[in-house]
């Protein structure tokens, strides 16, 4: 897609920067659709030199927005074991001059009223400030994680030990006390470059005019209230999420959807660790044995294991090429679970699967997009966090919102007996019953908040875009 030039001279225009990874791009694209179709904006996406980003945007209606791709930047000087956050930070920082050039062109060819970044885009904010473009952050996670980022610099200043060694949980405003072992994965080693990158992000998010948060009041009311008084203020505009089935389900092999058609209502566990998550070889085997031992119907999205990192598929889908992810399953597993479970290599139509009436649970990595999709479709979860802020999300979902169960063993290898126990509890136990009831309540609340004209998130976003259009004070109270 080419950058829009000339056709957006009268309509208000917004530029959006998405860091690599579908977890950031997809919600930003859904936000862009709302801006275009509900509020009459034109939109330009600023993309990194990443084929996957361009391919993802092509799945949205062609008329929704245009895009421009930044020149590639070298990353081969980074250590081979650099964490995802380090690689993303370097990519964004080195691309800042290119972002400046794009914004400067958009200022002359469109009625540019706002520049919106995701959480990794803070290194590009000086370019927008220099050009006089109002700056906003679309937080693609929740108020709990955002509160953590607001207050991490103070925690960094007042503590010296590794956070996992803190003797007591830490309470952030409006949030549940958080154990050190559940802090963000990239800050678990304070000597790693990723830690510095996260601290830079914490300082950078203070430089925007307002923060739009992909969450809603009923999901985390105390944190939402607490962050209204922060500067910049945090505004609930979610869930910005895909709810409806797409029309392209006839394309490709989606036999797992046909299999679901023959399963009892609410009887199937969906197992997936997102587009970037990977299990170790041993953990993959224990999960397989646990699913088998539980006797529960399941659909499992399988990728090749990675024994070094839990985000091994983030920049490239693990398993592409000659390596077959099914080869890592225990011998005879597919034969023994035939009829009870379906194993799908690499990828499924997740929204369609969550929307299917046979789906009764989601064993999830707790990525925020997957979480919101699960809540929006009323599907209770088993929290199995892997990387990034996913442990924070798991605490919110299991101990706060009450829409997820969590295996009793939280760190290290989760054995097959523990897997079977938590799966059975979700579908058959009293805790599982309470979780199912709670997620149904939040499903209804999510729809009201984001889709009803008098919903809290609907009105909050309308207030933001009204100020964008009028060019008035861009600091919006939630």
Give Cα separations from 389 to 33, 52, 71, 365, 430 (angstroms): 26, 22, 29, 10, 29
Question: What letter does residue 246 receive in the DSSP assignment?
Answer: P
Q: Which of 13, 24, 356, 377 is catalytic?
A: 24
Catalytic: 24? Answer: yes
User: Which among 4, 69, 63, 64 is positioned nearest to 35, based on CA atoms?
Assistant: 64
Q: Would residue 119 be called left, alpha or beta, if left means φ above 0 and alpha means ψ between -120 and 50 degrees?
A: alpha
Question: How remote is the C-alpha of 103 from its chain's centroid?
Answer: 26
φ, ψ of residue 372 to 5 degrees: the values are -65, -35
- Find tokens 């996670």 and name the residue: 141
Rg (CA), the chain: 22
Helices (H) then strands (E): counts for the chain: 16, 13
Q: In this structure, are residues 432 and 380 in contact, taking their beta carbons and an 8 Å threshold?
A: yes
Distance CA 216, CA 74 (A): 39
Bridge-based pairing of strands 359-364 and 341-345 is unpaired
**Pairing, β 135-139 against β 111-117:** parallel
- DSSP code for 178: B
Q: Of these residues, 13, 50, 118, 356, which one is catalytic?
A: 118
The CA distance from 321 to 314, in Å, is 16
DSSP per position, 333-402: HHHHTBTTEEEEES---HHHHHHSTTEEEEEE---HHHHHHHHHTT--EEE---STTHHHHHHIIIIIS-
CB count in 10 Å sphere of residue 324: 12
118 is catalytic: yes
The β-bridge partners of 178 are: 170
Residues catalogued as catalytic: 24, 118
């Amino acid at each position: 897609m080419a950058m829009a030039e000339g056709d957006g001279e009268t309509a208000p225009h917004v530029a959006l920067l998405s860091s690599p990874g579908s977890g950031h791009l997809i919600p930003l694209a859904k936000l862009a659709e709302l801006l275009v179709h509900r509020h009459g904006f034109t939109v330009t996406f600023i993309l990194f030199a990443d084929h996957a980003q361009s391919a993802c945007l092509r799945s949205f209606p062609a008329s929704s927005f245009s895009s421009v791709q930044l020149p590639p930047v070298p990353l081969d000087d980074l250590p081979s074991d650099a964490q995802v956050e380090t690689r993303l930070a370097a990519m964004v920082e080195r691309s800042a001059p290119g972002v400046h050039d794009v914004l400067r062109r958009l200022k002359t060819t469109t009625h540019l009223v706002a520049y919106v970044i995701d959480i990794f885009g803070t290194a590009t904010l000086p370019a927008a400030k220099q050009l006089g473009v109002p700056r906003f952050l679309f937080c693609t996670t929740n108020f709990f994680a955002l509160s953590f980022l607001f207050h991490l610099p103070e925690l960094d200043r007042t503590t010296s030990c590794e956070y996992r060694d803190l003797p007591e949980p830490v309470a952030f405003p409006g949030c549940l006390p958080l154990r050190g072992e559940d802090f963000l994965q990239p800050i678990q080693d304070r000597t790693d470059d990723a830690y510095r990158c996260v601290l830079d992000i914490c300082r950078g998010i203070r430089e925007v005019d307002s923060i739009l948060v992909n969450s809603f009041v009923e999901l985390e009311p105390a944190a939402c209230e607490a962050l209204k008084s922060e500067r910049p203020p945090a505004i609930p505009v979610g869930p910005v999420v895909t709810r409806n089935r797409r029309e392209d389900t006839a394309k490709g092999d989606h036999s797992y959807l046909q299999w679901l058609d023959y399963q009892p209502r609410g009887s199937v566990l969906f197992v997936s660790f997102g587009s970037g998550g990977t299990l170790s070889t041993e953990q993959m085997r224990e999960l397989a044995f646990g699913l088998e031992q539980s006797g529960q119907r399941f659909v499992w999205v399988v990728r090749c294991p990675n024994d070094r990192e839990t985000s091994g598929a983030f920049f490239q889908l693990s398993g592409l090429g000659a390596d077959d992810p099914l080869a890592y399953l225990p011998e005879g597993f597919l034969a023994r679970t035939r009829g009870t479970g379906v194993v799908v290599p690499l990828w499924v139509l997740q929204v369609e699967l969550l929307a299917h009436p046979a789906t009764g649970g989601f064993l999830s990595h707790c990525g925020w997009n997957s979480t919101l999709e699960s809540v929006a479709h009323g599907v209770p979860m088993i929290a199995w966090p892997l990387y990034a802020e996913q442990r924070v999300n798991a605490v919110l979902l299991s101990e706060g919102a009450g829409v997820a169960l969590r295996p009793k063993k939280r760190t290290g290898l989760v054995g097959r007996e523990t897997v079977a126990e938590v799966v059975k509890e979700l579908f058959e136990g009293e805790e599982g019953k309470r979780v199912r009831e709670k997620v149904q309540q939040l499903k209804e609340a999510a729809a009201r908040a984001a889709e009803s004209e008098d919903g809290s998130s609907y009105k909050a976003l309308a207030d933001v875009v009204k100020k964008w259009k009028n060019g008035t004070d861009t600091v919006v109270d939630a």
